[in-house]
Structure 1
Amino acid sequence: MTGVAEKGAQREADVSLAQKLAFLAQALPGARRIETHTAYVFVAPDRVLKLKKPICFDYLDYRDLTAREHVCREEIRLNRQLAGEMYLGVVPLVCDEAGRMALGTPGMVIDWLVEMRRLPTERLLETCLRSGKSVTPAEISAVADRLVTFYRDRQADRPNPGLYLRHLRCESAVNIRNLNDMRAHLRNGLDGAIVDAGAALIDHHAPEISARDRMRLVIEGHGDLRPEHVCLTTPPTIFDRLEFSVEMRMIDVFDEVNYLGLECAVLGAQWIGVQILAAITAAGFSAPSPGLLRAYGVFRCLTRARLSLDHLRDAVPRTPEKWPLQARSYLMRAAVLLAAGGGG
């Protein structure tokens, strides 16, 4: 570590997270603060600033200032491939010798923020579906066109053959372990057969998954494609691509769009997934077997159920009453998918 970096790390250690948040609230008057699992997001009238939490989970470690800078720069690099100039750049949070903080000026860097243009909240796909606003097939067609272009660009690279299948198997094992560990939070308990079936389906379809990987249908995608990350602007903006794990971004294109479709179905718009899957197929991407598509859906439902309950592992969980209900909803959807395919 260089002398400058050492001084920055020391100064950063001297300034608490609460002090940083208080400064940002003052520096961005009128901004709405949103807390996510990994960041604090300040939504101002014309821009958005995101401050990473200094946290550590199994899949990420943001405790170090250098790590937070790296992941902020990765977020910009990765999201510009889908969201263009919505992602403006990385902004340093600095502190002078007197302890005064500032944004983007010379000084000792104590943290890093991602700066973005603000999107119209009322045009987010999730907002539209929750509020009952009209979403048209033409708008969804534009989203599908954007994804087709993105996926074709990604097919030029095949950085980690086999990583996707290994990830599915690893995450399936984590689903089994964590859902069983947290089963006490589920009012009606946990049907272990559903969780075990998710892993068994991945194993059953492993040869097809590997074949699709060789066909370049497994690409470095978005990694967390949900309605809240799609804005129905013209052209559509798809943002918040997963920045901290290449393993989670490696994905079958049909797994990714099917996941978006499942999340739209949760919000009462099953037709969106049907339309996007058809558009991806029509664009020349070879569709998986119905059994594999179902296996992908079961895996995503079980993973979402697990991640929901994992929020309760936090020292001070946010909205603790929300997560068991959400987990049960996804477990029920996994059961429906399994029943539709006879478990195979």
Structure 2
Amino acid sequence: MTYSSRGDGSAVAQPEPDCPLEAKISYLRHPDAYRFYHARHVEAIETRLSWVFLTERHAFKLKKPRKLPELDLSTVALRRANCLTEIRLNRRLAPTVYHDALSLALQADGTLRLCARPQPTDRIVDWVVWMRRLPTERRMDELIRSKAMLPSDVRRLSVIFWQFYRFSLPVPMSTDRYLGHFRKNVEENQEAVRTRLPKGMLDRASQAALWQRTFLKTQRTLLRRRVVEGRIIEGHGDLRPEHVFLESPPKIIDCLEFDRTLRLLDPVDELSYLALECDRLGAGWIGDRILESYMLRSGDRPDLRLIAFYRTFRACIRIRLAACRLDDATAGQREHWLKRIDGYLECIEKR
């Protein structure tokens, strides 16, 4: 179902309109779509789940109408709900970036219009997340690659994370559920790479999986203690350098909005993930300092074996995701993903 607008502002359910994704993309590629947002140029970027349209000052995200095991965006209503959830969650760490969810309306004459307030005769065929465009040159991964990340940047970012976790309420969770999450994913990681990786890489990934299984048998008390101590909170869920912008203050965007269970985590796990990604980019000192700063400010000093487990586990998750991209990759793309996997394996082997 989709919705049309009434004069009183309420919505009326309508059959799903015949407006294909290609027509929406074609419209949003053109600067005229953003005449109220002072756009002269539009850059379109396709991701796995969306299309992002960048103008000089803004970014507009259109969700793809897809239905996956972990996410259903197959209807206009579901995409609207996802847009609103994305805005709400991301305002926690980027309050001035996420503006609103805009309507993509089909007008009576058959043309599309991007607007905040549809007319009574409009039929809403989709929703678009409207954001402020952030400067790419201040993105953390770009700063790392250009060796421009400063200790002062790291200190400011450390304060942001400490404050975020400090004011996040503990989420009740059973120890069995917490341990079960890791056991399940260790096996899924291994199953995903079994038929996809070259033998040498598969052997290295299998060694990592064996180490993780052993940890879950012999050191599970370390994980249980995190639950008992109330350390599990609703975090960002996808804390990578490409989602961090070193403005003043820093902004962290693109949280994992579609599955709350994946946002329920230990802050040390989340910061270990960021440290892993910094290490893969050749700047392990950055993630290590941020994690150390969190532990110093919070007084939370987990066992180093737990940090090693979190990092290794996160690396194997990333290996699994990269391995799945090999299924339909071209020769050049395959080389890219195998290089990415090798980078994660090297990070694992440093533990």
> TM-score, length-normalised on structure 1?
0.89
2:292 is aligned with 1:278:
yes
Question: Which secondary structure state, in structure 1, belongs to the residue aligned with residue 62 of structure 2?
Answer: strand
**Alignment partners' CA distance in 2, 1:275 and 1:42:** 35
Match of residue 188, structure 1, among 188, 192, 200:
200
2:243 is aligned with 1:243:
no
Partner of 2:88: 77
Q: Contact between 2:83 and 2:127, CA under 8 Å: does it hold in 1?
A: yes
| Deviation by residue 1:95-135 (Cα, 9 ceiling, x = unmatched) | 12332111113321111111111111111111111123x21
| Deviation by residue 1:166-198 (Cα, 9 ceiling, x = unmatched) | 322222221011111322xx3735112323333
2:59 is aligned with 1:59:
no
Q: Contact between 1:221 and 1:249, CA under 8 Å: does it hold in 2?
A: yes
The within-5 A match list for 1:1-344 is 8-11=14-17, 14-26=18-30, 27-28=33-34, 29-104=40-115, 105-106=118-119, 107-132=122-147, 134-154=148-168, 156-162=169-175, 163-183=177-197, 186=198, 188-191=200-203, 192-313=206-327, 319-337=333-351
Partner of 1:342: none
Number of residue equivalences: 331
Q: Contact between 1:83 and 1:237, CA under 8 Å: does it hold in 2?
A: yes
| Deviation by residue 1:64-123 (Cα, 9 ceiling, x = unmatched) | 222211111110110111111211011111112332111113321111111111111111
Q: What displacement does 1:213 show?
A: 1.6
- Change over 3 Å in CA distance of 1:177–1:318 after alignment to 2: same
- Change over 3 Å in CA distance of 1:320–1:65 after alignment to 2: farther
- Change over 3 Å in CA distance of 1:101–1:3 after alignment to 2: closer
**Alignment partners' CA distance in 2, 1:164 and 1:229:** 26
Amino acid at match of 2:25: L
- Change over 3 Å in CA distance of 1:111–1:209 after alignment to 2: same
> TM-score, length-normalised on structure 2?
0.87
Q: What displacement does 1:9 show?
A: 4.6
**Alignment partners' CA distance in 1, 2:221 and 2:69:** 28
Q: What displacement does 1:136 show?
A: 1.4
The answer to which of 228-237 and 51-60 deviates more is 51-60
Q: What displacement does 1:335 show?
A: 2.9
- Change over 3 Å in CA distance of 1:204–1:6 after alignment to 2: farther
Question: Which secondary structure state, in structure 2, belongs to the residue aligned with residue 224 of structure 1?
Answer: coil
Q: Contact between 1:164 and 1:250, CA under 8 Å: does it hold in 2?
A: no
**Alignment partners' CA distance in 1, 2:255 and 2:44:** 20
**Alignment partners' CA distance in 2, 1:325 and 1:335:** 15
Q: Contact between 1:88 and 1:115, CA under 8 Å: does it hold in 2?
A: yes
**Alignment partners' CA distance in 2, 1:323 and 1:113:** 30
- Change over 3 Å in CA distance of 1:139–1:38 after alignment to 2: same
Q: Contact between 1:229 and 1:240, CA under 8 Å: does it hold in 2?
A: yes
Amino acid at match of 1:190: L
**Alignment partners' CA distance in 2, 1:201 and 1:97:** 62
- Change over 3 Å in CA distance of 1:137–1:90 after alignment to 2: same
Amino acid at match of 1:312: L
Partner of 1:341: none
**Alignment partners' CA distance in 2, 1:238 and 1:258:** 16
The answer to which of 80-89 and 160-169 deviates more is 160-169
Amino acid at match of 1:116: M
Select the structure of larger CA radius of gyration.
2
From the two aligned structures, give the one with the greater helix fraction: 1
Question: Which secondary structure state, in structure 1, belongs to the residue aligned with residue 340 of structure 2?
Answer: helix
Unaligned runs of 5+ in 1: 338-344
Question: Which secondary structure state, in structure 2, belongs to the residue aligned with residue 83 of structure 1?
Answer: coil
**Alignment partners' CA distance in 1, 2:54 and 2:332:** 19
Amino acid at match of 2:185: E
- Change over 3 Å in CA distance of 1:208–1:188 after alignment to 2: closer
Partner of 2:7: none
| Deviation by residue 1:211-253 (Cα, 9 ceiling, x = unmatched) | 1122122211110111111111111111111101111111111
Q: What displacement does 1:314 show?
A: 5.7
Percent identity, please.
34
- Change over 3 Å in CA distance of 1:2–1:291 after alignment to 2: closer
Over the aligned positions, Cα root-mean-square deviation in angstroms equals 2.3
- Change over 3 Å in CA distance of 1:201–1:151 after alignment to 2: same
